[in-house]
Structure 1
């Protein structure tokens, strides 16, 4: 069946370009709002025009198809427009985390071989002289961090040269969070992003969509919702920084329909005393990914927050996705769902052989949405790959899980975080679930530390609920009474807040180092 609707016709294609869809929306609904932040809004007509000026300026500066620009800034309308404009010029974008150190940013910018760096006042101190490396800087705001954005743009009415792109053409280079060491550049192709657009209709993306995003644009977590919203002609509201009260006010004011939040944000929202006083009836879908999402918290979201709840499990590297439609499967909240259409998810043992049904194994995945590889690190790419006996390529996740009889995947832990104590395998997530069950505990995590007697032994870190004064020794005794003999915690420590990355992952490496320092 053919369609005369330009949007439907484009999305029906096996492969297309998100930047081209912006042109479609600019022609069909020029006055619809595409982007909004605290200072400005852009309609689709204005966005497409700005993208042309950005793409033309990049080509004027000598950048060619496949070249890379870097962005290190707070989420904003201009940030988003630069990302989209670079795509229209056929370039790849390396969005860099402002929370990184200047030295780490310099290494990432150099690794990406970026030709230009876009920044703003909030990151001026972070990027510092180390990241300059002779690379021209453009200021996304009116600060003096680089050349003025408006002055740098090509004149109004300038059109960029058209470029031809393939599914394997680089779309962006996402740098891993660096929670376990030096970040690696994950090269994602246009085909991977298009696969996210293709599944958009299932989640009711369309011209009436209003998506509120408070996670940063340098995170793949954000982009898996940002780009489908733009592709389908919806509106994206960007928060520069998440805060519970501000989020709830924006959600109610703008009748938000879609959002992406990491579990710790759901936790803080649901705990806010004014949460139930806000009208959130406009929500259609809420998404989550990036970190473990407890079943109790999922159940609370389902009970008190209108709209469907979707959990995505996968890696920035791609290689397959599991999807839990929590509102449809309330009895499976302890899982991360079933493999998405087109995703081949398998479990393998330490020798690289597939495990028998019902057994634990490392999760590996294959899909159309797979990274090309780690940028300029072929050996790291090979380490991340597993090949089936028939030669099919999979990406290793490093997670340990098990499929149940209905095909739902339960995750136990990161393979590297599994604790081997006295020859027994201990999954920290099991211990964390027990700790969180104590009425005085607001948050908790468990790590393994060296032990002369056992090789490794588990210790816990807990955050108490506001106003609570329970002695950690009481919580430790209570928890150990519920754990098996080999699982018992050797120690429990109070901490004001668990160290987390910008997208909510607990930085266990920091806790291990903190404990080692005494």
Structure 2
């Protein structure tokens, strides 16, 4: 065979689509430049360089390689926020495995479900949680359980310290899984949204351009945007939108392990970008130090994960001179829409989440699938390279959540209800799945109702969200007692604490003789929301 013929039949090498490869390519050439500065805790003032991120994540990736795990193993992580936790996420990407972040408010029963469903090969928890967490993990078949503390302690770092700090990222294709994020449905059963390397990278690149991220000098790493990172890193907003944004831009982060409004205001003069949920903006407005002068150097304030009250939007503009950019996304899709960033692209309208991002298809349809006219309210469906691959081990549920056109085009049914303006701007008016978003966290009524209904003396319950000035929505429960039972709302709240995450626990419980129902016997939650609408002022 001639050399020409041999080369013609040789397999063509495909580029490595591992997300970490793209992130690392944006790191400044001067590796000693500051990537992250700690802003709180006992190590406040410490700095991590870009080389630290590269070498630290390499050590952790090599540790995972030593464990000889099956390809694309799930790595479940429930730890406090730290730079080392971010390095662990990067290490899982590098090693070609699948990252499974878990809200650090989850309790034993919740963790048991996630372990049983995802069957992770490795689980990482805080040192304090190790006694109960490891018991659940080992009983669920997890082979390796490590600890990682917020003070750079734990067995994970101890083991990784003996590993090499050079590692070649495992080759991944765009459709290979990078992460699984659990999000519950109206049935109360949690679903694992499978996000690929291609999903996450495509969305990060779109946001980098659309939000006009200003790159630092590629050699020195100086200048450009500086991000205040004050969000948790166990969900889309903090881990994918904020962290990916800074890493893909080579931008420095001012890192808060816990949100402190006064401390954040004090660092505004050093930053240019801030991302937060509405709750954070409410708390920042409570600080006298928040002034136009303090925010003079800021370029962009972004809000998401929950509806932003009009009062908060207006108060922020009046106090700082900045107009908050609102956007819309989901665990299954990362970001979908955004108000304009550049003034030349239009105004940021309060109460709206902007138009579909470049590359994202979005339509609003009636119940029968017909397209809604501008201004008509309907169901929001989306498609694009950012839309997830499906729900982990739930092929039937995945198929149910997608609408398929005659030409085979698949549209994800978001479960949100909204309307589109003539210019493409989207307003979210409700959620067909009764999802509650409190303080930026998703709360699913059916799950909470399940816990309440198991309590002695409870006949049935209904959980709804009502407007809350701080959290966006406050969780409340209406409970019907069994005949002869004497229930106390405070006792029900106490019984839930310690069993489920704190953000899921109702802020108030009402004991009623019955729940309002329609002619078909369905509980009319819209009436309950209206009755208690003014509860929190």
Confirm or deny a common fold (TM above 0.5).
yes
| Deviations, residues 387-432 of structure 1 (Å, cap 9, x unaligned) | 22322111111111111222211221111349xxxxxxxxx99x95
What residue number does 1:301 align with?
316
Q: Pick which of 87-96 and 56-65 moved more.
A: 56-65
Distance, in Å, in 2 between the alignment partners of 1:236 and 1:280 is: 17
CA shift digits 1:420-460 (9 cap, x unpaired): xxxxxxxx99x95xx97xxxx99766989732588636567
Cα deviation, residue 271, structure 1: 2.8
Identify the match of residue 103 of structure 1 among 106, 109, 119: 109
Q: Which moved more, 1:90-99 or 1:300-309?
A: 300-309
Mean alpha-carbon deviation: is it higher for 216-225 or for 197-206? 197-206
CA distance in 1 between counterparts of 2:335 and 2:135 reads 39
In structure 2, the CA distance between the partners of 1:27 and 1:358, relative to structure 1 (3 Å rule), is closer
1:152/1:125 Cα in 2 relative to 1: closer, same or farther (>3 Å)?
same
Task: Tell whether 2:210 aligns with 1:219.
Answer: no
Structure 1 position 209 matched with structure 2 position 219: no
In 2, distance between residues paired with 1:46 and 1:260?
Answer: 24
Structure 2 residues without counterparts, runs of 5 or longer? 1-13, 217-223, 436-463, 479-514
Contact 1:448 1:456 in 2 (8 A): no
What per-residue deviation string (whole Å, max 9, x for no partner) do you get for residues 347-382 of structure 1?
A: 122233333443211000011101111111112212
Contact 2:81–2:150 at 8 Å: present in 1 too?
A: no
| 1:379 aligns to 2:444 (yes or no) | no
Q: Secondary structure at the match of 1:251?
A: helix
Q: What corresponds to 1:28 in structure 2?
A: 29
- 249, 258, 261: which one pairs with 2:266? 249
C-alpha spacing 1:65/1:370, structure 2 compared with 1 (3 Å): same
Query: How far does residue 89 in structure 1 lie from its aligned partner after superposition?
Result: 1.2
Alpha-carbon displacement from aligned partner over 1:114-172 (angstroms, at most 9, x marks no partner) = 11122224655773632343442222238899625133344344x33542211111111
What's the CA shift string for 1:308-335, capped at 9, x where partnerless?
Answer: 6322212111187111137845573222
**1:261 and 2:276 aligned:** yes
Q: Give secondary structure in 1 for the equivalent of 2:234.
A: coil
Distance 1:331 1:154, change over 3 A: closer
* Conserved 8 A contact 1:214-1:239: yes
Aligned residue for 1:362? 379
Verify: 1:131 aligned to 2:137, yes or no.
yes
The aligned residue for residue 491 of structure 2 is none
* Displacement of 1:235: 1.8
Deviations 1:80-109 (A, max 9, x none): 011111111111110111111212112213
Taking structure 1 as reference, are residues 404 and 168 closer, same or farther at Cα in structure 2, changes over 3 Å only? same
| TM-score normalised according to structure 2 size | 0.73
Superposed CA offset, 1:211-243 (max 9, x none): 122221111011212112112211223322212
Hey, what's the Cα distance between the residues in 2 that align with 1:326 and 1:144?
A: 37
Which region of structure 1 is more displaced relative to structure 2, 240-249 or 167-176?
240-249
Unaligned segments of structure 1, at least 5 residues: 1-12, 419-427, 462-488, 497-518
- CA shift in 2, pair 1:327/1:266, >3 Å: farther
Corresponding position of 2:336: 321
| Structure 1 residue 151 corresponds to structure 2 residue 159 | yes
Whether 1:398 aligns to 2:406 is no
Q: Residues of 2 paired with 1:145 and 1:261: CA distance?
A: 28
Name which of 280, 289, 293 aligns with 2:304. 289
Native 8 Å contact 1:142 1:148 kept in 2: no
Contact 1:102/1:131 (<8 A) preserved: no
Asked whether 1:84 is paired with 2:101, we answer no
Alpha-carbon deviation of 1:301?
2.4
Partner-residue secondary structure (3-state), 1:407:
coil
Query: Which residue among 270, 278, 283 is the counterpart of 2:285?
Result: 270
Q: Which deviates further from its counterpart, 450-459 or 347-356? A: 450-459
TM-aligned CA distance change 1:443 to 1:310, over 3 Å? closer
Give the structure 2 partner of residue 50 of structure 1.
Answer: 56
Alpha carbons 2:227, 2:251 under 8 Å: kept = yes
**Does residue 1:236 correspond to 2:253, yes or no?**
yes
Report how many residues are paired. Answer: 438
- Asked if 1 retains the 8 angstrom alpha-carbon contact of 2:36 and 2:48, the reply is yes
Q: Which structure carries more relative contact order (alpha carbon 8 Å, separation 6+)?
A: 2
Could you list the per-position Cα deviations for residues 162-216 of structure 1 after superposition, in whole angstroms to 9, with x for gaps in the alignment? 4221111111111126787232111111111111232203422423332122221
Within-5 A mapping of 1:441-456: 450-451=515-516, 456=524
Q: In 2, distance between residues paired with 1:213 and 1:27? A: 19
More divergent stretch after superposition (134-143 vs 359-368): 134-143
Is contact 2:177–2:196 with CA below 8 Å preserved after alignment? yes
2:323 and 2:403 map into 1 onto residues whose CA distance is 34
Distance, in Å, in 2 between the alignment partners of 1:178 and 1:274 is 41
The corresponding residue for 2:356 is: 339
- Say what the alpha-carbon RMSD is for the aligned residues: 3.4
> What is the TM-score normalised by the length of structure 1?
0.75
